[in-house]
Structure 1
Amino acid sequence: MQTTTLSFSNLHNHGELFANLFRARRQSFIVQKNWKLPEDEGMEFDQYDTPQSRWVAIHDLGQVMAGFRLTPTTARCGIYSYMIRDAQQGILGGTIPQDLLYETAPQDDQIWECTRVFVNHNVPQQFRRGVHTQMVDAMTITARELGASRLIALTAGNWQRWYGRCKLTADAIGPRLEIDGGHFQCVSIDLTAKLH
């Protein structure tokens, strides 16, 4: 299993990996979860897939097993910044409730947003824990390299149960919400203990 952090400046070095990551996202979010998201040529994408973001792929023998996207909370592209902040400001048209945070969404060089987290449905159950461990390690290392001391994410409502297992230190920064039939909550992941 390999981990690769992709950016617009290095994606040409990794063949089909970038496209395969977007294909795996489509399978996870559009096919499996039935979310209404933009897609084209068998790939899922959105307005936050810009040169400001980084994408992490966990892959083996050309198959993307898992992945996620990191976007700085200082990002700007047209009217968009990052997903949590744009939802709070009502820019996303209510697809995510505006009251998802207790306070104003941060804009700070040391805080990045983690989104589009998935594990490919083809990964056998006995390998999933190892994939999760690799994802957490990759998230921590990549975020640290980007200068982040904290990540924020809109994550599954049962996050407390599995964040502890993954040795992540996190706190709720918003209420539990029901979105598309699932329970979600915004969390802040503290990386300061992992910055040395």
Structure 2
Amino acid sequence: MQTTTLSFANMHNHGELLANVLRARRQSFIVQNRWELPETMGMEFDQYDTPQSRWIAVHNDLGEVLAGVRLTPTTARCGIYSYMIRDAQRGLLDSIPSDLLYSEAPVDEHIWEVTRGFVAHDIPANIRMRVRMKLVVEMFKTTRQEGIGKMVALLPSNWGRWANRCRLDMKAAGRNMNMGGIDYQAVWIDFAQQFH
């Protein structure tokens, strides 16, 4: 089991891995969760998959993706869009309530957003935590490389059950809300401690 942080600058070194992340996202979000999201050539994508983002993949030697997340700086801009949580708060997204955060969405070079997190549905229960931990360890590595002190995320509301096991310093950033039949909540993930 390997982990890779992908960017537009390094994706050419990893064959089809970024395409495989988008294929795995399609399986997770469109096929499994039945969300209506953009897709093409068997891949799920949206307006936030730009050169400003990074994608973390947990994968095997064959490039099969077991888990992944997308990281986007809160300073990102592409046309009228910035990042998903902020754009939801600004009323630009119909699928996410605008009152998802307790405070104004940040725009700060040291705060990034983490979205589109998934663990493949067919990962056996006995290794799911190991896969999650690999994802978290790569997130820690990427936060150091990118100078990220904090992240804002939209996660299933059961995040508290696994946050401690994954050694993540997390706290609620917004209310619980049901989207697509799943309860979600915005959360802060603090990485500042790792720099000490």
Same-fold status (TM-score > 0.5) = yes
Q: How many pairs were matched up?
A: 195
- Mapping of residues 1-196 of structure 1, within 5 Å: 1-62=1-62, 63-92=64-93, 94-196=94-196
Secondary structure, in 3 states, of the residue corresponding to 2:58?
strand
Cα distance, 1:180 vs. partner?
A: 1.3
Gaps of 5+ in 2: none
CA distance in 1, matches of 2:180, 2:125: 25
For 2:65, the aligned partner's letter is: V
Separation of aligned partners in 1, 2:184 and 2:148: 23
Identical amino acids, percent of aligned pairs: 58
Deviations, residues 97-132 of structure 1 (Å, cap 9, x unaligned): 000001110000000000010111121111111001
Aligned 8 A contact 1:112 1:152 in 2: yes
Distance 1:154 1:127 in 2: 24
Cα RMSD after superposing both structures:
0.8
Residue identity in the other structure for 1:20? N
- Is the 1:156–1:185 Cα contact (8 Å) retained in structure 2? yes
The question of whether the paired residues in 2 share the 8 Å contact of 1:67 and 1:117 is answered with: yes
Q: Distance in 1 between matches of 2:49 and 2:99?
A: 24
Distance in 2 between residues matched to 1:126 and 1:75, nearest whole Å: 37
CA contact (8 A) 2:133 2:166 kept: yes
How far is the alpha carbon of 1:61 from its aligned partner? 2.2
Unaligned runs of 5+ in 1: none
Contact 1:75–1:82 (CA under 8 A) maintained in structure 2: yes
| SS in structure 2 at match of 1:173 | strand
Amino acid at match of 1:134: K
**Is residue 112–residue 143 contact of structure 1 (8 Å, CA) maintained in 2?**
no
Alpha-carbon distance between aligned partners in 1 of 2:18 and 2:173, rounded to the nearest angstrom: 31
Does the aligned pair in 2 maintain the 1:19–1:43 contact within 8 Å?
yes
> Equivalents in 2 of 1:44, 1:143: separation in Å?
25
Give the deviation of 1:164 after TM superposition: 1.3
Secondary structure class of the residue paired with 1:171: strand
